[in-house]
Amino acid sequence: MYKSGRIIASLVIVVALLSLPFFYNMGKTNKRPGINLNTPAIQKLAVKQCIEPTEWMRANHMQLLNLWRDEAVREGKTEYINSQGKSFKIGIDTCLNCHYNPALNSSDQFCVSCHDYASVKPTCWSCHPWQNGAAK
């Protein structure tokens, strides 16, 4: 038992050493893609907000677009009321009205740059070709 102090001390050191790479890489790994939010439409917004809170959009924009598709195509809905009671026109165009930047190449556009970075290939663009954020 008299050795337990030293054992605990060396365990602490081992754990500290093992976690060094983690601290060293903090903020370096998972570097985000160069997302460009600086579009003419967003510059004009008094309050820089997406349709729903940013974190939610980052994680759930695909579900929102699928919901919009179902509502538009199956129920003929044209309007989406967000969690703050604000109204938006249902359509992929609505996203691009804010997120498309005519000054950028197609590969640098908001949607495309992030999808390329994450190797996501939405199946939507075969039918919505000009709506992939590359051109408008």
Q: Are 48 and 42 in contact (CB under 8 A)?
A: yes
Question: Which among 100, 115, 93, 88 has a CA at the least distance from the CA of 41?
Answer: 100
Decide if residue 87 touches ligand HEC (CB under 6 A): no
Least CB distance from residue 44 to ligand HEC, whole Å?
9
State which of residues 83, 87, 107, 126 lies at the interface with ligand HEC (CB under 6 A): 126
Phi and psi, residue 65, nearest 5°: -65, -35
Decide if residue 101 touches ligand HEC (CB under 6 A): no
Decide if residue 104 touches ligand HEC (CB under 6 A): no
**CA distances from residue 118 to 27, 81, 97, 115 in whole angstroms, order as listed:** 18, 29, 23, 5
Decide if residue 49 touches ligand HEC (CB under 6 A): yes
Decide if residue 61 touches ligand HEC (CB under 6 A): yes
Decide if residue 50 touches ligand HEC (CB under 6 A): yes
